[in-house]
Amino acid sequence: MTDFSNASTDNLKLSFTVNKTPDEVYEAINNVRRWWTGCIVGKTKNLNDTWFFSYPNIHFSKIKVSQQIPGKRVVWQVLDSYIEFVDDKEEWTGTEIVFEITSEDNLTKLTFAHIGLAPNIACYNVCRDAWSFYINDSLYNYIVTGKGDPGESIKIAEES
């Protein structure tokens, strides 16, 4: 497990601050279907849940919820991936997606990092732009207003 606090500064990192509680931010992160795009199949809310994300003809990932500390941290481990538009189709495989939640001046700060997604990776620019939208816009809006922007193409497969 990657220690986020010691992660390389080359990894993609994004952050924002909201006037919500750490628990509200934590719950929003785990309600992935409301702020991310594509088709998500499987459970996404509990430790060890394994789910699949796909955006047809572009990207597929098998993701496991590998760590959860309520109100503080969520970590997803990318177990398998396929990215159509790069030479190394499995660039995301073995990477970790980390959400750190902290309190700062009576507000809650969310710091997102995709550990292993660095500028030397072929999909970095496209993935950085996509994550910037989904974290800084869609997830932020979902936390603040209750409405994310997962895009019109989303197929929400509710958890069973």
Mind listing the pLDDT tens digit for each residue in 24-59? 999 999 999 999 876 889 999 999 999 999 888 888
Return d(Cα 122, Cα 88) in angstroms, integer: 8
Specify the CATH class of 11-146 in words.
alpha beta
pLDDT tier, 116 (very low <50, low <70, confident <90, very high otherwise): very high
Across the range 131-146, mean pLDDT stands at 95
| 61 and 84 Cβ atoms separated by less than 8 Å | no
Return d(Cα 67, Cα 73) in angstroms, integer: 7
| Confidence at residue 39, expressed as pLDDT on a 0 to 100 scale | 85
Boundaries of every domain in the chain? 11-146
| Confidence at residue 9, expressed as pLDDT on a 0 to 100 scale | 61
| Confidence at residue 156, expressed as pLDDT on a 0 to 100 scale | 40
Mind listing the pLDDT tens digit for each residue in 79-108? 999 999 988 889 999 999 999 999 988 999
The answer, yes or no, to whether residue 18 has pLDDT greater than 60, is yes
| 80 and 91 Cβ atoms separated by less than 8 Å | no
